[in-house]
Amino acid sequence: MTGTAVDLIWLAPALALLGFVANGALVFVRPTAKTLVSVIGAGVLLAAFAVSIAVVSSFDADAPVVFRYWSWIPVGTLQVDFAFQVDQLSAVMLLVVTGVGSLIHLFSIGYMKEDPGYARYFAYLNLFVFFMLVLVLGASFPVMFVGWEGVGLCSYLLIGFWFSEQANANAGRKAFIMNRIGDFGFMVAMFIIFWTTGSLDFGTVFSHAPTALVAGGSTVTAITLFLFLGCTGKSAQIPLYTWLPDAMAGPTPVSALIHAATMVTAGVYLVARCNVLFAMAPVSSAVVAGVGALTALFAATIALKQWDIKKVLAYSTISQLGYMFLGVGTGAISAGIFHLTTHAFFKALLFLGSGSVIFAMHRAYHHTHAHEDAQDMRNMGGLSRYMPWTTGLMWIATLAIAGVPPLAGFFSKDEILTAAFARGSTQPVWLVFWALALVAALLTAFYMTRLMLYTFHGPNRTGEKEQAHLHEAPWSMTGPLVVLGVLSAAGGLLNVPTLYHGSAWLHHWLEPVTQPSAALLPEAHLASGSEWLLVGVAVATAVIGIVGAWRLLKPEGLVAARSAPEERGFARVLRDKWYVDEIYDALIVRPLVWLSREVLWEQVDQRVIDGATVNGVARGARALGWANRWLQTGQVGMYVAAFVVGVLLVLWRAIG
């Protein structure tokens, strides 16, 4: 206990949990009390945000402050307390989760207004924030894992929020199963950590790791690779990323909060948290950075040819998460966390903006009773005339994600690219990663401009009757967008690099957390001349992407989705996402289903377990009974004879 506002940290998750309990009760008691639900749902989040600000502003320790609440798992030498830890890294996450979370809760009030599951929605959303706070505040791997699983559960519940559609329920299940594969890695990593260091507390593990484990050895490599497997599941990286695009089946604010701003960044947070371990395992670091760079490029290519506005943003999220992993894998922990923060701002803005567009489209189609796809960009076009605020704010976010200075994304993305390039001076493989990420940056600028162009500019393709009903969303929805717009524009100020005579505030703020890995792995520094050159290249890439898309793409030539022609050739491959889902289906799902059905079910279960064991015993008993039936003649004489013969035999044995 520190005697300052930091002691109140338990209040933040407790408030979210309270919101869940209250709204959860209202689901059963009075689901139509929407005003009460909104006040509770958004109110607890705003209160939690206030608590977070109070905690972070009064926190100034160099070491993590740990609060042990109760002994949770005391088993032999395994002693796990339910404990929260406040340090610089969890402080950043705390503010992002509660801050962006509050805005998205406020947006949801307008977006979900007409939904019959209003109370259930806010209950789930509050529960999600509770688990997310447990995840970022947990002071040991098991506590973090509780949050890790909890957010997975809420993600599943919210993806399948409109579960009456089979496709939505399937998307939820897919997300859950893909995450289970990753969680297996997380758990194995925990087992190895406990086995080698004898503890699961962050403090003990990270201080013992340099002595208990051999740097570069196979143990620490195994730990970090298994941890990263967990990250690929939660943070949607190759090879487990396929659930995230499907997760767009959930309500759009959910996509903004869970599948863009907070939950999917948990993997980046985990790597940053375990930066000591990753710094000790160069192979794993290279794997993290390599997978990140590859994912960044791969997802960006798919985003080029998607028509669903949310699918573009989903692949964009995967791509940006790849950047974050490139950053933390390179050892530039603060750059990765910086990009996580700015990405939370501009991607939440993009998703909420697309939510505002979908809201308008849906309302227009609802008015005219048309059954068109409200998310297909081919049905949009020219929306800037109807929704000027959304258009302007979306452009800010687009320029930010594309990396146009001086918006938020420019600084964070550039820092990651620079770090990778600098690492390349000693290990050339990092130059490859840098090149991949640079191409991905070009594609990012291109597909985001494409999205803006097709959605907001050119002629309108919604339909003659519908145009009259297209207009801006109410202020309760645009308000949070404006706040996020300001953050997307100015978020870069958090960490203006020294190159521009900035203070690199976030970098220094995070130093107590990143210091152990920085000691093991000194950050490579470039001459300021080459840094300026890199900045020039990055900016040029962004500009080429935007201008190229603006010149190449002709929104005038598009037709509405109903009558659009099929893509051919490579465009079709990209539209069909490189057929990764189909490949997984053929290589993993079908063989697994075949094995389960043909072998395990029809042979092992039905023949061996049911046939030989369960029914076999019964059949044997019946056969024995059938045989013995012939002895029971009912004739007393027979019984007496058997008795006499038996006595004679016993006597014969006894005497002879």
Binding site for another protein (CB under 8 A): 632-637, 640-641, 644
**What are the structure tokens assigned to 89, written together?**
């890294």
Give the nearest distance from C-beta 643 to another protein in angstroms. Answer: 9
- What type of residue is 532? W
Give the nearest distance from C-beta 641 to another protein in angstroms. Answer: 6
What count of Cα atoms within 13 Å lies in the side-chain half-sphere of residue 528? 5
Distance CA 174, CA 425 (A): 41
**What are the structure tokens assigned to 199, written together?**
């503890």
Query: Would you say 1 or 654 has its CB closer to another protein?
Result: 654
Give the nearest distance from C-beta 160 to another protein in angstroms. Answer: 59
Residues 205, 208, 213, 216, Cα dihedral to 10°: 80
Query: Would you say 614 or 644 has its CB closer to another protein?
Result: 644
Query: Would you say 623 or 647 has its CB closer to another protein?
Result: 647
Give the nearest distance from C-beta 645 to another protein in angstroms. Answer: 10
Query: Would you say 63 or 631 has its CB closer to another protein?
Result: 631
Give the nearest distance from C-beta 637 to another protein in angstroms. Answer: 6
Distance CA 174, CA 246 (A): 8
Query: Would you say 528 or 633 has its CB closer to another protein?
Result: 633
What is the H or E stretch that residue 270 is in?
helix 266-273
Using alpha carbons only, give the angle 530, 536, 540 rounded to the nearest 5 degrees. 150
**What are the structure tokens assigned to 434, written together?**
């840098």
**What are the structure tokens assigned to 135, written together?**
């995840």
What count of Cα atoms within 13 Å lies in the side-chain half-sphere of residue 219? 15
Query: Would you say 559 or 638 has its CB closer to another protein?
Result: 638
Give the nearest distance from C-beta 650 to another protein in angstroms. Answer: 15
Give the nearest distance from C-beta 618 to another protein in angstroms. Answer: 20
CB 495 within 8 A of CB 411: yes
Query: Would you say 490 or 647 has its CB closer to another protein?
Result: 647
Nearest to 85 by CA among 32, 150, 157, 133: 133
Distance CA 530, CA 459 (A): 44
CB 150 within 8 A of CB 138: no
What are the backbone angles phi and psi of residue 73, rounded to the nearest 5°? -125, 85
Give the nearest distance from C-beta 153 to another protein in angstroms. Answer: 59
Distance CA 156, CA 375 (A): 21
Query: Would you say 592 or 644 has its CB closer to another protein?
Result: 644
Helices (H), 368-428: 388-402, 408-424
Query: Would you say 587 or 640 has its CB closer to another protein?
Result: 640
Give the nearest distance from C-beta 615 to another protein in angstroms. Answer: 25
What count of Cα atoms within 13 Å lies in the side-chain half-sphere of residue 18? 14
Helix, strand, coil % over all residues of the chain, rounded to 5: 75, 5, 20
Give the nearest distance from C-beta 629 to another protein in angstroms. Answer: 8
Query: Would you say 195 or 639 has its CB closer to another protein?
Result: 639
Distance CA 6, CA 15 (A): 16
